[in-house]
């Protein structure tokens, strides 16, 4: 009896993935638990294990195929003794009406590395005909709020249904999406017409899955979250002294190297977690029906990767020592750069830390990443003149700018959290006891 292997859902929000690599070939025998393929999502490369044993009779989706829908049959197993030639391709493996899309390789300009051409099979958008419009409830609501006529939108969902991304693409570009590709850049102009306005020195880079997800989430955040901002200036001389002492006294391994090296950012993650425990009303997430109050402080740490961003989560950060936080952040940041994080390592949490101080940025604001209700943006520590009593003094000062979701955290509550954070930063001994 044949057994279907389908594209797995590697996270609750995953709708499709890229079949990066097959680790087996037709005719191979596999056992339950054997790794048979690698699947790329928007933010990670995950290994897929076989849940049954058998012989790989047919591989239905070639490696390198992009946009494979969840639950699509990608391969078929048979039992020992069965004839592979008699296996019928499941109807679920037959794609819907598709077109072959090939991205041409643009010229390389000024040292920019351009991806090689990629052929992918994508669903052909079906224009809405007549007066009946097929659209998801979320797409209808977004269109209604934005005053958009759905008759002008081309659907790229199953059977031409209009989905949220179609409506947002029209709102962003001022026109309907062309053939399911990126939204037009100016009303009434195709992408080709817009590109023709520039000289031939430009370089195009097709959007990958990560870039698309980042764009969608930031657009959603900026359009739906009523944010406000609070800046606290924190003196960090005590923190710098504590950091130097901790690193000097760190235990050594057999080669004489320190077992850990605490960074300023590790203190910031810990301070944010402690502040959330001190002000539990701010340790919250917003949903359409409830405010969710979190028991622990799960703090995301923004990590820049090539042409993208991850926010791995330090779980229960208020309970962890600085050395453990440091080790976890280093480990997850390294795996994030190789797209090896598991979905549960970067999904969830209630807040995040974004630090651009190492680039010399003095002060900036960040966009809240749902379901978080806050984020703190950390600038560079620098020597400044401060007034202590009636006298001038020199201190190392760091700007921390908080963004809050006003639906969940009101102004006074946000100020209370920011003040608690400042207290832990300026008196770091409170984080160590």
Which residues are the active-site residues?
406
197: CB partners within 8 A, 6+ apart: none
89: CB partners within 8 A, 6+ apart: 58, 60, 73, 76
- Scored b (16 or more CB within 10 A) or e, 317-338 reads bbebebbebbebbeebbebbee
Q: Which helix (H) or strand (E) holds 288?
A: none
- DSSP state string for 49-117: E-SS-EEEEEE-S-TTEEEEETT-EEEEEE-TT--GGGPPPPGGGS--SEEEEE---PPP-TT---PPP
413: CB partners within 8 A, 6+ apart: 279, 281, 282
Handedness of CA 210, 367, 310, 11 (dihedral sign): negative
CA dihedral 413, 414, 415, 417 (to 10 degrees): 90
Query: Which residues on neighbouring strands pair with residue 251, listed in sequence order?
Result: none
For 366, the token pair is 């960040």
**116 burial level (CB within 10 Å; 0-12, 13-18, 19+):** exposed
Cα gap 285→412, rounded to integer Å: 17
Long-range contact list for 386-394, CB < 8 A, 24+ apart? 386/235
For 203, the token pair is 């370089």
């Amino acid at each position: 009896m044949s057994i279907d292997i389908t594209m797995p859902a590697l996270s609750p929000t995953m709708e499709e993935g890229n079949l990066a690599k097959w680790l087996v070939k037709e005719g191979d025998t596999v056992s339950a638990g054997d790794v048979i393929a690698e699947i790329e999502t928007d933010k990670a490369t995950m290994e897929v294990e076989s849940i049954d044993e058998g012989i790989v009779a047919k591989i239905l989706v070639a490696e390198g195929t992009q946009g494979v829908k969840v639950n699509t049959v990608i391969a078929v197993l048979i039992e020992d003794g069965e004839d592979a030639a008699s296996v019928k391709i499941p109807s679920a493996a037959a794609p819907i009406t598709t077109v072959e899309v090939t991205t041409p390789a643009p010229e390389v300009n000024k040292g920019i590395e351009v991806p090689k051409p990629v052929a992918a099979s994508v669903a052909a958008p079906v224009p809405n005909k007549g007066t009946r419009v097929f659209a998801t409830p979320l797409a209808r609501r977004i269109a209604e709020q934005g005053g958009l006529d759905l008759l002008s939108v081309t659907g790229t969902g199953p059977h031409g249904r209009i989905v949220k991304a179609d409506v947002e693409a029209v709102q962003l570009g001022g026109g309907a999406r062309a053939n399911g590709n990126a939204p037009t850049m100016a009303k009434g102009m195709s992408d080709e017409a817009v590109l023709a306005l520039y000289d031939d020195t430009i370089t195009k880079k097709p959007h990958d899955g990560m870039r698309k997800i980042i764009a969608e989430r930031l657009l959603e955040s900026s359009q739906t979250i009523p944010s406000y901002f609070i800046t606290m200036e924190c003196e960090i001389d005590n923190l710098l002294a504590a950091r130097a002492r901790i690193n000097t006294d760190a235990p050594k391994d057999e080669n004489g190297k320190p077992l850990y090296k605490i960074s300023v950012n590790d203190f910031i993650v810990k301070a944010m977690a402690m502040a959330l425990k001190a002000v539990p009303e701010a340790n919250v997430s917003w949903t359409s029906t409830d405010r969710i109050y979190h028991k622990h402080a799960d703090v995301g740490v923004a990590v820049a990767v090539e042409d993208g961003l991850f926010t791995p989560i330090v779980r229960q950060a208020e309970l962890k020592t600085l050395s453990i936080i440091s080790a976890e952040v280093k480990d997850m940041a390294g795996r994030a750069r190789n797209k090896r994080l598991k979905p549960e390592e970067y999904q969830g949490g209630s807040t995040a830390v974004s630090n651009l101080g190492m680039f010399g940025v003095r002060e900036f604001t960040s966009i809240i990443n749902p379901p978080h209700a806050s984020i703190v943006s950390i600038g560079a520590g620098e020597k400044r003149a401060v007034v202590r009593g009636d006298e001038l003094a020199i201190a190392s000062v760091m700007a921390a700018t908080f963004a809050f979701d006003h639906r969940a955290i009101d102004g006074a509550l946000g100020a209370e959290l920011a003040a608690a954070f400042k207290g832990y930063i300026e008196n770091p001994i409170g984080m160590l006891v």
